[in-house]
Amino acid sequence: MNAFTFKAQLEDRDKRLDQFLKEKIPDFSRSKIQYWIEQGVVLVNQKKGRSALRLKGDENISGKIVEEELTLAAEPIPLRIIYEDKAILVINKSAGIVTHPAKGHRDHTLANGVAYHLKQNKSELFLDHESKGNEELRLGLVHRLDKETSGVLVVAKTFLSQKLLSEQFRDRKVKKVYRAITTGRLKVLKGEIEGSIGRAYHSNKMDIQPQGKFARTEFKVLKLFPEHSYIEVYPQTGRTHQIRLHLLKIGNPILGDTLYGIKDQNVPRQMLHAFRLKIEHPISKKWIQFEAPLPKDFLQTLKFLKNKTK
């Protein structure tokens, strides 16, 4: 645990307590900060605070950074393996499975299945993880896909691979290609979208906001339907919900996206698929590319849209 102490100023007058702390400790999500407040470890003038408390601008605010007690247990969850060697594991993730454990999703995540696979292979990552008492929740996962997004995901199997792959994602060297079906017809056949992304106020959503992190997405139309578009998407940055938010920004949310779009009874989930991933292999240093075929539900949706035009 790490302690913190802040002094509210006049310019902080009327800010919510959780908003104030989010600005002071930007590396943590608002929901995590609210968790600390709920645990009673955040004090305002020596009294327990509330997330919705409005500041007057002269308070002394102190507290501790508290991590939720999450563990990662190895579970025999089937993995659809595209490629594997001694350094990396490439998976075709199914829609409907959470990548990392989190509050409300502690078990049956992709990370649990990866842990089991690495355990069976006696990976150094798993042996180290087990010796530390299940403290490491990512265990080789160097990037993530949303629960309802399917497609290519790479996993590191060694400490060196984890370090080098993480650096590739951080430095934006990895080439990512997604396929998506949007609501509405895009007005141009190719283009790019920019918009800084941050967490929406008092919400589990992300939002395009000036104070967020820079994000850019390029796209190309593959086929236009009367009321939908089938597109290829090339995210140039890797922000949370980036593709979904940027397509919403131009008025074409992803079909089936119930968080940022409109629920559609004709589709089972958001039509977003991580189609291709190109990385520099951490050992051979050669650039290699992996693809995940379009899943059955995605192909069925495309077929449904084609039949509607006949």
Would you list the domain boundaries of the chain? 3-64, 70-171, 172-310
Whether the pLDDT of residue 249 is over 50: the answer is yes
Q: What is the CATH number of domain 172-310?
A: 3.30.2350.10
Q: In what order do the strands lie in the sheet with 60-64?
A: 3-7, 60-64, 43-44, 47-48
Active-site positions?
A: 146
Q: What is the CATH number of domain 70-171?
A: 3.30.2350.10
Fold agreement between 3-64 and 70-171 = no
Tens of pLDDT along 280-296? 999 999 999 999 999 99
- Whole-number pLDDT of residue 71: 66
Q: Output the average pLDDT for the chain.
A: 89
Q: How confident is the model at residue 161 (pLDDT cuts 50, 70, 90)?
A: very high
Tens of pLDDT along 168-187? 999 999 999 999 999 999 99
**Which residues lie across from 189 on neighbouring strands?**
none
Does domain 3-64 bear CATH number 3.90.1150.10? no
- Whole-number pLDDT of residue 211: 84
Q: How far apart are CA 257 and CA 193, in angstroms?
A: 19
Whether the pLDDT of residue 1 is over 50: the answer is no
Tens of pLDDT along 83-133? 999 999 999 999 999 998 766 667 789 989 998 898 888 777 766 655 554
259's CB contacts (< 8 A; 6+ apart) are: 205, 241, 244
Tens of pLDDT along 253-265? 999 999 999 888 8
